Chain A
Amino acid sequence: MLLNQFLILSAVLFAIGVYGVLARRNGVLVLMSIELILNVAFGSYVSSISGEVFALFIITVAAAEVGVGLAILLLLYRNRQSVDLSEADLMKG
């Protein structure tokens, strides 16, 4: 098997995730797209032990990220009764 098979699949999924982050307005859906982006880091796994260790680290960091992200969304929902990110524009200049 070619190394590029995995890397190109990663790149395609990454781009799909980027589209999701930019095009979605519902906060939960944006978080899901971010999860997709982080997860395609399986491309970092190049059939070596170091690659596996980094894949494990990325799984851990992504889990931490989604925990904090959902906590922020809950707070947003509690304060504004909506998770529409285009309404969260308090810091918009």
Chain B
Amino acid sequence: MTVLGVLVAQNIAFGVIAAIMVFAALRLVTTRNVVHAALFLVVVLGGVAGLFLLMGAEFVGITQILVYIGAVVVLFLFGIMLTRTRIGDEEGTDHPKRLPAVLAAALVATITIYAVVTGFGDVELPADTRTTTAEVADSIFSTYIIPFEAVSVLLLAALIGAIAIARRD
């Protein structure tokens, strides 16, 4: 395929994934069925992984699928079951008054979109954005070694904290 052909294909794929993600996110915050919300979360997170793969960031894309769709969503389903949220439509998932939330979200969207549009205008991404896993690993274990160790300790602390909070005694 020509370079132009690849660009057109990338843009079409981006549009499809973006539309699916926005739809799923809207359903995620409006559905009354908690299990459906978890499944819509899967769609959004899968869309993010798809975008990473589209941009040639294979390692991050696969990690996204493993960590989120593999682990976090299962954790959510456990949370739903353990808190005995009713499976099926449920009353009282939303506040009765939603207008302030809509206004706050619209304000956030307006400000951030205005900021990125004025800030980045029409900056083009390079035609070839592929990166290899080896380059990512090199960067993590050289430039970002201290943040990497900090994140490791954070994970350990969160693990111990979660057990300490949730255990029965």
A residues bordering B, Cβ < 8 Å?
A: 1-9, 11-20, 22-29, 31-33, 35-36, 39-40, 42, 45-47, 49-50, 52-53, 55-57, 59-68, 70-75, 77-78, 83-84, 86
Contact = CB atoms under 8 A, between A and B. Distances in A.
A60 B123 contact: no
Contacts of A26: 34, 85, 90, 92-93
A1 B129 CA distance: 10
A65 B135 CA distance: 28
A18 B105 contact: yes
Contacts of B157: 64
Contacts of A77: 82-84
Interface of B is mostly: helix
Interface of B: 7, 10-11, 14, 18, 21-22, 25-26, 28-29, 34, 37-38, 41, 44-45, 48, 51-52, 55-57, 59-60, 63-64, 67-68, 71-72, 75-76, 78-80, 82-85, 90, 92-95, 98, 100-102, 104-106, 108-109, 112-113, 116-117, 120-126, 129, 131, 135-136, 139-140, 143-144, 147-148, 151, 154-155, 157-159, 161-163, 165-166, 168
